[in-house]
Amino acid sequence: QVQLVESGGGLVQAGGSLSLSCVASGRSFSTYGMGWFRQAPGKEREFVVSISWGGGRTYYADSVKGRFTISRDNAKNTVYLQMNSLKPEDTAVYYCAASKTTYGSRWSQYDYWGQGTQVTVSS
């Protein structure tokens, strides 16, 4: 069992930056693919970015490519999401997720989820 706790959300002006963290409890964090998803009001949950078990491979949604950066520190059981050049359309609840088998883009591939952290970007 893995428990995920996100932090770092908040309110920022367009063009600003935020850094999210997700700390995992439990064993074998380094064997999980990790992903960030987001869900805006009235919209479906969408993929943002993912990272492989060792951190060597990443996969970004086109909408955030060049602006967001995912990283992980397996010694600290933590995955990070650095968000730069934020836009109002980035406003959403951001969720961290862990997968035992993949680091893909479909939310159904993930086994464990955090509670989410709100990111609001004002124009």
**81-100: per-residue pLDDT in tens?**
999 999 999 999 999 999 99
pLDDT at position 51: 98
Residue 109: CB partners within 8 Å, gap ≥ 6? 99, 101, 102
The secondary structure of residue 108, as a DSSP letter, is G
The answer to whether 20 and 12 are in contact (CB under 8 A) is no
Measure the CA dihedral 75/81/37/17, to 10°.
160
Model confidence at 48: pLDDT above 90: yes
Model confidence at 31: pLDDT above 90: yes
Model confidence at 40: pLDDT above 90: yes
